[in-house]
A and B are shown apart, each in its own frame.
Chain A
Amino acid sequence: MTRARCFFNLALIRQNFRQYGWIGIIYTLGLIFAVPLQMFMTGNPSLFNQKVTSLFQLGDGMQGMLIVLIPLSAGLMLFRYLQVKASADLMHSLPLRREHLLTSHLGSGIVLVLVPVWLCAAITAITRPWTGDLYDFTGKDIWTWAIAVSVLSIFLFCFSVFVGICTGQTVLQGIASFVLLILPYMLMQLISYYFSLYLYGYPYGIYTNSIRSDLWSPLVHLFSVSNQAFEVRELCVYVGLTVVVVALSYLLYRKRHVEMAGQAIAFTYFNPLFKAGVMLCCMLIAGNYFSINMSGRLVWTFGGYAIGAVVGYILSEMVIRKTWHIMNRKIPLDFAIYTFLLSLLLYIPVSGWTGYEARVPDEGEITQVYAGSLYNLYTQKESSTNPYEAYSPFSKVDPFSGDKDYIRAVQKLHSTLSVIRPAVPTGKSFYKDSRVRSMSIVYRLTNGHTLTRQYQVPVVGFEPELRAIMETAGYKKSEYVLSQLEHDVKTMNISTREGVVVLTHSAEINEFKALLRQEILDMSYADQIGDDVPLADVDIPITMEDRNVISFYSYSILPSYHRLLNWLADKGYSDKIMITAKNIASVEIAAFEPKILQGDHSYYYDPEQYLAIARKQNRSLVTQDKDQITDVLKYQKKYVIRKGTYLVKKNYEDGSPEYVLMETDDLSPELRKLLR
C-alpha cells in the first residue's frame, strides 16, 4: 500500500461521496443561481451595462450565505461520525489510523466544496459571451472570485472540523463554529462599548466607525460581501488560519477520546476556557445593557455584571454537564474564583493604572492636531467594490493642522477636561441646556502614532478653552469643510423656503466662494456657539456628470455674515429669496413656563401641544403686526427648550408653521406688555 493511498483511504472517500454528495450538489446549484444565472436575470432590458469590480457583487447576499452555510454544514456532516457513539465506535474499530480517517474526511470535504466553486467559475466563463453584456467583467475577475471562494470555503470547512474535534455534539459543533467565527467582532464591539462607559475620553464613535468589522469576522464580511470584496492580504490570513486549524486538528484528534461522543466538550482542559469565555460575554452584555437602560445607576450597573456572571456560569456549567442540575458543594467557590478573576480582567483596563484617561501629550510630542465633530466623515473609507471611485467633500482631505496656536489650544482643553471630567447632562436635564459640543481630539505624534480621544464638552464653564480652539483657522477649515470651496464647480444654489438663486457664472461663483470662505474664517466664537437661525443655505448640487460624487456639505448663511449679505443684496438676490415679514401671516408667542404645564413636562417636547395648552390658559398671544413680525425675524433663535425664554410659532402665508425661540431681552416692549 503506497503512502498516499494509505492516507487517502479511497473506500472512505467513496463512502463519503455516496453519503454526502448532496452537499456538493446543493452548493453547485446555489452558486450557479447566485453567479452565472444572475447575469441573465434582469427584468429591465434597457438597463445600461454595469461595471463590476468583483463577481461578489452578483446575487445580492445569496453568495455570502451559501459560502458560509455549505462549508460549515459539510464539516458538521462529514464529522458527524465523531459525535455519535455507534458510528464513532464503528469508524475507530476499522484498521485505519486516526490520521488516515482525518485526512480522508478532510479530503472528501475539500473536494465537496471545491468542485462546485470551480464548476461555477467555468460556467460563468463559458456563458459570459451570451449574457448580453449586462455586467462588465474580465476573465481575471472570474479567477479572482474562484480563488477567493475556494480559500473561504476551505477555511470555513476546516474550521468547523476543528471545532468538531474539540466538541462532542453536532449541534454544539455548529453553534460553536458560528459563534467563534463572529466572536472576535462581537467582543471588539462589547469591549469598546464597555470602555466607552468606563474610560473617560474613549473615542467610541470614532472607534466603531474606523473598525473594519469585516476584517474581524469572515461571517460578517461574507454577509456583506456584495459591498466589499475580499482583499489579497485577508485571503492570505485565511490560508494561514486554515493551516493552523488543520494542524491543530491533527494534533488534537490524536488525543481525542472516542468515548467523548455526545459530551459537550471533548477535552476537559478546554472547560475553564469555555466557562470563562461564556461568562465574560454574558457579563459584558448584561453589564452594558443595564448601564445603558438604567443610565449608569451604580447599583444596576454592578447588578448587571453580577447577573451576567451568574447567567454565564450557569449556562456554561449546564452545557458542560449536559444537565440543569448543576448545584453541588463546590459550585459557590468555583463561581467565586471565576468571577473574581474575570472582574479583575475587566477592571484593570479601566482602572487608573493604565494612565489612559490622564494622558495628554506634551507639545513637543505633537506634530499635528485635529479637533472637531466631523472626524468620522474625514476618515470614512469608501467601499472598494463600488465601480466608481466615490467622492465626498471629505475624501482625500487631511483635516489635521500643524498650527502651533491650534495645537496649544487643543492641548489646553484636553488637559483641562482630563482633570475636571465635567459631567455631561443626560436624560431630562439635557433638554434644559443642550449646549454641549461633541469634540474629537486627535493628535499626530512625533513617534508616528496617533492619539484619539472623544469628549462631550459642556459650553458653560469651558468658554475660554473652547473659544481658543474654535477661533483658529485650523479648526474652522475642517469643521466647516472649507476644502469643498476649493474645487471648481459649475453651479451653486442659495436657497431658503421661499426660493432658490442659482449661481452659474463662474466669476460670480468665485466671488461668492471667496466671500463665504472669509465669512466663515472670521466667525467669532459667539457666532459658532449661538443659536442664530440661518438666513439661507448654500449647496453645491450634484450634476449628472459627477456620477462619483456621493454627497456634499451644505453651508449656512448666518445673520452675522454682513459682507456676504450685502453682496447678495447688491446683486438683487436677497429680494428674491430672503424671508421678510410679508412672507409670514402671523406669529404666536408663549412663555416657556413650567407652571403652564402643571407638572406634565412631556409637552415641553411638542411645541404645538405646548401652545395649545398655553392658548387654553390665555397665556399665548397671536399678532399679525408686520413690525412685530420683523422684530421676531431679527431676534429669533433656534428652537430649544430653555426656561425663561419664549416659544414663537411663525405661520407662513402658505399655511406651514415654523417654531423658533426668543430671549426675554429681545422681546419688544409692546409684546412684553401684551404677554404680561
Chain B
Amino acid sequence: MMDNGNNRSSKGDSEVLEIRGVRKSFRGEVAVDGISLTVHKGKIYGLLGSNGAGKTTLLKILAGIIQPESGTVKMEGKSIFERPEVKQRIIFIPDSPAFFPQSTIKSMANFYRSVYPRWNQAQFEQLGDVFRLDTSRKLSRFSKGMQRQAAFWLSLACMPDVLVMDEPHDGLDPVMRRQIKNLLFQEVAERQLTVLISSHNLHEIEDICGPVGIMHGGKMRVEMDLNDLKADTHKVQVAFRDERHERAISSKLQVLHREVRGSVSLLIVRGDRERITAAFGIYQPYVFDLLPLTLEEIFIYEMGDAGYDTRPLLL
C-alpha cells in the first residue's frame, strides 16, 4: 500500500466539513436519509456505496448545488448553500464533467479566473506540463478521459480548500490515474487540501483514502479510518472440535459473516487481532487461520449485513 498523505497529518486536526442529519428525497424517494459525517482538514475521505446509495446526492449537497430538506452542511462552521464566499473554496467535479458548450480549456480557464478569486495562473500553467492537453481545442471533442483531466486541471488551478470528486477514476488510463493520485497527494501535503472521493472502485479508494464511509440506502453503514477498519475486521478459517463451540464464539465476538465448507467454517469477525486469537484459543480448534481483509471483502460483507449481498446465481 502506498504511503498516503493522511498518515502524515496528526490526528485531531480541525474539522473542515461537518454534515449533521442531512436528508434529501426526490419525488418521494429518499436519496439521503439522515446522514452525519465529518471530514478533517488535509484528509482524503472515501465515500463507498452500492449503486443508488445516495453518494452523488450527498456530494452535490456538499458542493452547495442541492439544498437538503433538513440537516446542516457546514464548511469550517459556515453553511455552504448560496454562500459564494464559501463555495469559491469548494470545487465539485461531477462523474461526467460539464463545460460550457463550444468552450475550450483556455476559455474555461478565463471564465474560472474571473469567478474564482483564488485562481492561480502559475499553477494552471505548471499543470500544463502534466496534462499536455490542447488548450485551444473544443472540450466537446475531447474523449471522456481527457475531459476528466481537463476538469481536474481547471479545478486544481482554482486553488480550492475542498475538492469533491464523483467517481474520478472512470475513463482514466493507469498512467494518468497515477499522475492524478500523485498530484492529489502533493496538494494534500503541501497545502492541506481536503478531498472527498466517491467511488465504487475499491482498489482506487484503498490506495489513497484514509477515512472511509460506506453508504447504503441513503444511510451511512460504516464510517471509520481504513487502517482501523482493516485492523478491526478479520477473516478467520476455523475447524472446531465441537459444533457448539461455534455458537459460543458467536456470543463472544461479533461475527459479520459465516460460511461453512465441510468441517471448516469461514467467519468474518470484528475485533482486534489479539482478542480474536485469544477468544478462539480457548476452544483449541483443529484449524485456526487469521487473515487480513481486503477493502473489497469488507465492502461485500458490510453490504451483506445491510441486506445487499451477492446472491448465488444458477447459470
Contact = CB atoms under 8 A, between A and B. Distances in A.
Interface in A236-262: 257-259
A26 B12 CA distance: 61
A10 B114 contact: yes
Given A18-B107, A92-B65, A94-B87, A86 B96 contact: yes
Given A89-B60, A89-B65, A259-B26, A95 B102 contact: no
A625 to B, nearest CB: 90
B115 interface: yes
A9 B99 contact: no
Contact of B82 (A18, A19, A88, A98): A98
A293 interface: no
A96 B102 contact: no
Main DSSP-derived SS at the A contact region: helix
Contact of A15 (B86, B98, B111): B111
Contact of A97 (B84, B100, B107): B84
Contacts of A96: 84, 87, 115
Interface in B105-122: 107, 110-111, 114-116
A576 to B, nearest CB: 81
Most buried by B among A9, A19, A95, A257: A95
A258 B107 contact: no
Contact of B101 (A9, A19, A258): A19
Contacts of A544: none
B114 A86 contact: no
A86 B94 contact: yes
A325 to B, nearest CB: 15
Nearest to B166: A89
Interface in B40-64: 60, 63-64
Interface string A84-107: 001111101111111010000000
A97 B67 CA distance: 13
B260 interface: no
A87 B86 CA distance: 21
Contact of B94 (A12, A15, A89, A259): A89
A95 B115 CA distance: 7
A258 B57 CA distance: 12
Contacts of B63: 93
A100 B82 CA distance: 11
B85 interface: yes
B88 interface: yes
A11 interface: yes
B100 A19 contact: yes
A328 to B, nearest CB: 13
Contact of B100 (A15, A92, A100): A15
Nearest to B108: A15
A87 B98 contact: yes
Nearest to B92: A93
Given A18-B102, A90-B98, A259-B26, A95 B85 contact: yes
Most buried by A among B67, B85, B116: B67
B102 A93 contact: no
A523 B88 CA distance: 90
Contacts of B100: 15, 19, 87, 90
A93 B65 contact: yes
